Chains A and B, each alone.
Chain A
Amino acid sequence: MAAMASVGTSALRREGPEKLTGRALYLDDLDVPGAWHGVTVRAGVPRGRIKSVSFDPSFPWKECVVVTAKDIPGKNVVTLIEPDQPLLADGEVRHREEPILLIAHPDRAKAYEARSRVTVEYEPLPPVLSLEDSLSVKEKIFKDDNVFKSFLIEKGDLKGGFALADFVVEGEYRVPHQEQAYIENNAMAAWEKDGVLTVTGSLQCPYYVVKALKVLLGRDESKVRVIQTVTGGGFGGKEEYPSMIAGHAALLALKAKRPVKIVYDRHEDMAATTKRHPAVVRHRTGLTKDGRLVAQDVDVVMDGGAYATLSAVVLSRGTLHATGPYECPNVRVRARAVATNTPPNGAFRGFGAPQTLFAAELHWERISRALGLDALTLRRRNLYREGSVTATGQVLRESIGASECLDLVVKRSDYEKKRKDYDLWNADPAKPTWRGIGLSVCHHGAGFTGSGEVYLASRAAVALTRDGRILVLAASTEIGQGTNTIFAQMAADALGVPSDWVEVETPDTHKVPDSGPTVASRTTMVVGGLVRRAALELKAALDAEGGRVPKTRADLKKSAAALCGREPLRRFEVRYEKPPEIVWDEGTYRGDAYGVYSYAAFAADLEIDRATGEVRVRKATTAQDIGRAVNPRLAEGQIIGGCAQGLGWALLEEPVYKDGVMANAQLTNYVIPTSLDAPPFDVTIVERPYSRGPFGAKGVGELPMDVPAPAVAAAVRHATGRLIATIPQTPERILAALAGPEDA
C-alpha cells in the first residue's frame, strides 16, 4: 500500500518544536566563541562629499579593528543588478544611512562608544528628498534624468479606445513607504577558517550573499560559504540588505582575524535597511455606459531611493499588475523608478504590486460614482476569465479563480446586504460610528517576471544517503512561511513514502545547489516543482534498483545501500525548464509575463468613531485561489499574516521621512497591528489547480498583501462618503477628509 498522501494535509511545522521551546537558535542566540561585535559608522548627511574622517585621540583605538573602503580586497560594490551601490562609501555619500566605516571591539558597549568617537566631515551637496524633486531634475543624482528604470506596456489603440468611451474617469493615488518590521532584526556573523570565509545569519537568499561576497572579496565560490540561521521573519526585508551586512562582517572578521558578529538594533534596522517603494499612480480610464473598460492609461512613479538595488524589478512587477485583473482592449502603462537621496527601497511582500493594485482597485470607487453603477457590478463585467487577454497580450488559459473568489467573498461577508444596512446606520445621527464595507480583487503573478526564471536556471536536489536518509537539498529558506514542511510533503508524495522519512537540509551553500532567491511567491510553485521532479528521479532509481519503492525503513536502508554502493550518497539534481507555452519578449514587454497568476478577493467591514475618526475593522473576509494548498493550515497562516500586514499598511503604518531619513524608526512610533487591531479573518482557500505547478500549486506568499488596502479605502468611503486616495487612513486623515465636502 502506498503511503498516505501528505500534500493537501496540514502536516505539522517541521521546526516547530524547536521554535516553541526556545531551542531554535537565531543568529543573536548563537554562541560564537571569541567573536567581536561589529558596528557601522553611517553618513548622517543625505548627500555630500567626504572631506575627512577623524578619530578621537582619547579613545583606545588599538583595542578595535577599523575597516574602511581601502580594506576591500575585491570591488567595493554590493553586487545585485546594477553595480552602483558601494559597500562602504568612498568619496560621495548619497543617503544618510550610508555605511562609511566599520568598527569591531570585543565588548559590545565599547564598540558603540567607539562609533560615537568618529567624526566625518563633508562638503555638503544639495539633496533630492522627494519623488517630485527627483522628477523635476533640479539636481541630477542619477544619469541625466534621475530615472533608474522605465517601462512601457501598450495594447490595442489607446486613442481609439478613449474615442469609444462614454465616460472618462481620472484619479491619482499615493502610497507611502512601509517597513517590513520582522521581529528579528538583521544579524550576521562571519569568520575565516582554513581559507574559507563563512558567513551565517538571518537571510532569505543565500546565493545572493555568495555572489556579493565573491566580488567584494575577489574570491572563488569555494572559498565563500553562506549558511542561513533560523530567521525571524523576512517579508522581502532580508532579500538584499543581508549581502551588505555579510560584506561588513566578512571584512571585519578578515581584518580582526577572528569571528565578528553584527546584530542591528531596532532603530538601525528600521532607519538603514530597505522599505517598500512609495509610489504615485495616475489612472485615466475610458468606459462605456454599461461599465465596460475600453481604455486604460496608467502612469506609475516609484521612489527607488539612493541606489538602483532592486528598483527595476519591483517596478516591473508593479507595471505588470497596474491594470488590476481586468480585461481591457486598449491599454498603456508607463512606469518610472526615480532616484532620491534616501536609503534605497527594496523588496517587501508584493514587490511593487500592492502599490499599483491599490490604485487600480480604489479607482473603481471613482468609476462607480461617475457611472452610477456599483463597484461590484463593474468588477464582474470586466474581471479576467478564461481566454482573457492581459495588457501584455498574454492569453489566460487556466486556473483563473478571480470570479469565484469574488463571489465567495461577497456571499460570506454579506456584502450586498451590509451595503444597504450600513447606509441606514450612517444616516442615523444618533449612532456613535459610521460603518462601511469595501471590496477588492487582485491577481498576483507567481515566480519571476518574464524570462526571469529562465535566467535564474534554478536547481534543487533530493539525495539518498547510504544509511537511508532522504534529504531535500535546496537554497530556499524557511523564514516562517513553512518551506521546510511543504518541501518534505511534496518530496514524500512524489516518492510515495511517509513525509517523516524526508529531511530538509539547512540552506548552506556548500551543501545545497542554487535554487534562486526565496522571493516572488516562487518557493512552492517553482522550487517545489524542482523538488518534486528530483524526488521522481530518485523514485525511478529506486524502482530500477529494487523494482519498487521501499515500504519500511528497513527496506529503505537496504535499497539505499544497494543504490549508493561505496558512495556516501546518491544525489538527484534537476534544473528549471521553461514550459514551452510560456513566451516572453523582454524588449517589447509583450507575452506571458508570468506562467500563472493567483487571485484573491477581500472585503473589509469596518466602523469609524464619529468623534475621534478611529477605525476598527470588524471583520475581514477573503477568498484566495492558490491553485492547490500543499498545506492548508500553513497556507491559511500566510493568508491571514499577509492580510494583517496589508491592514497595517492601510490603517496604521507610516514611515515619516525628515531630511531624508525615517524619523520614526522605532516600534514605539512606527505602529504595526497588535492582537487588538487585527480583526477576525474569514478565509476560504480556492483551489483552481495549475497544470504546471507541483500538485497544482501556484504562489501564495505575496497575494494576501495586495488586497486589504484598497478594500479598506473603499470601506472608509462607504462609511464617510469621502474617497481618501492615500494610506494609511489614520484618524487625522479621516477627520481632515470629513472637514471637506462629500465626494461629488
Chain B
Amino acid sequence: MIKLRVNGKPRMFRGAPFKRLLDVLREDFRLTGAKEGCGEGECGACTVLLDGEPVNACLIPVCQAAGRRVETVEALGTPEKLSKLQASFLERGGAQCGICTPGMLVAARAHLASGGRPDDASVREALAGNLCRCTGYQHIVESVLAAAKGAKKPAKAKRPRA
C-alpha cells in the first residue's frame, strides 16, 4: 500500500507499485485533469506537482510519490471560483482546445510560486516542456505574465478599422 497526499488530502493506493502516477490519479482517484498526450515525457499534458516541482506523471511510478505531496489542476480552483492564474487564462485566451491547459497551469504555477521571474523569456523557459498545438503560446505567456503582475484587462487586439 502506498500513502501519498493528493491536493491536500491523504490518499492510499493499493496495487502495482510501478503503475504510472498518471494512471493512479486518473483511474484510481478519478482525477482526470492531468491528461495523457504522449506517454513518453514529451508533451507535458500530464504535468503535476510533486512536492511543488513539476513532473511528468506519465513517467513516474506511483511508488516514487509515496509519502509525498501531489498537486493537480483540480487543486487550483473551481469553475465558479477560478484562481487568479486561471482567470487570467480565461481573460486572455490562454486555453483553446484546453487539452494542454491543466499541464500548462500547473507548470506556470510552479514557476511563479518558486519565485520564477515574471518576464517573457523566463515564462517561456518554464513552459518549454509543455506542448500546445493551438495557441502558438503567445496568449499563454501573456496570461501567465498578467497573473503575475495582477493586471486586469488584456490589451485590445489591433484593428485599424473598427
Chain A residues in the interface with B (C-beta under 8 A): 8, 10, 12-13, 15-26, 28-29, 31, 180-185, 230-235, 265-266, 404, 408, 479-482, 629, 632-637, 640-645, 666-668, 672-676, 678, 680-681, 683-688
| Contact A232 B98, beta carbon cutoff 8 Å | yes
Listed by A's residue number, 14 A-B pairs whose Cβ atoms lie within 8 Å are A17-B79, A20-B79, A20-B86, A22-B74, A22-B102, A23-B33, A28-B36, A183-B100, A640-B138, A645-B136, A676-B124, A680-B120, A681-B136, A686-B160
B interface vs A, CB < 8 Å? Answer: 26, 30-40, 42-43, 45, 72-74, 76-80, 82, 86, 89-93, 95-102, 105, 120, 123-125, 127-141, 154, 156-162
B144 to chain A minimum Cβ distance, whole angstroms, is 10
Known: A12-B91, A182-B133, A667-B131. A19 touches B138 (CB 8 A): no
Please tell me which one of the listed residues A8, A181, A643, A668 contacts residue B133 in the complex, with CB atoms under 8 A apart: A181
The smallest beta-carbon distance between B76 and chain A, in angstroms, is: 7
Residue of A nearest to B125 (CB): A676
**Bound Cα distance A688, B160 (Å):** 10
Q: Which residues of A contact B98 (CB under 8 A)?
A: 15-16, 18-20, 24, 230, 232, 480
Q: Is the CB of A637 within 8 A of B139?
A: yes
Contact A184 B138 (CB under 8 A): no
Nearest opposing residue in chain A for B75, CB measure: A22
Residue of A nearest to B143 (CB): A20
C-alpha spacing A689/B123, complex, angstroms: 37
CA distance A644 to B92 in the complex (A): 18
Total contacts A-B at CB 8 Å: 209
Name the contact of A183 in the complex, choosing from B97, B123, B124 (C-beta under 8 A): B97
A16 to B135, CA, bound (A): 14
Interface of A is mostly: loop
> A404 to B139, alpha carbons, bound, how many Å?
25
CB atoms of A668 and B42 under 8 A apart: yes
Min CB distance B67 to A, Å, is: 24
Asked if A634 and B93 sit within 8 Å, CB to CB, the answer is yes
Which residues on the A side are within 8 Å of B162 (C-beta)? 8, 687
Known: A17-B82, A640-B136, A640-B139. A265 touches B99 (CB 8 A): no
Partner of B42, one of A10, A19, A666, A686: A666
Q: How far is the CA of A643 from the CA of B76 in the complex (A)?
A: 31
Residues of A within 8 A of B34 (CB): 22
B133–A183 contact, CB under 8 A?
A: yes
Minimum Cβ distance to chain A for residue B78 (Å): 6
Nearest CB in chain B to that of A401: its residue? B161
**Residue of A24, A676, A683 touching B157 (CB-CB under 8 A):** A683
Minimum distance in angstroms from B25 CB to a CB of chain A = 10
- Chain B nearest CB, measured from A229 CB (Å): 12
Bound-complex Cα distance A17 to B94 (A): 12
Residues of A with C-beta under 8 A to B92:
633
Assess whether B43 is in contact with A183, with CB atoms less than 8 Å apart. yes
State how many angstroms separate the Cβ of B17 from the closest Cβ of chain A. Answer: 16
A234 to B157 CA separation, bound complex (whole angstroms) = 25
B103 nearest CB neighbor, chain A only: A183
Q: Given the complex of chains A and B, what is the CA–CA distance between A666 and B41 in angstroms?
A: 11
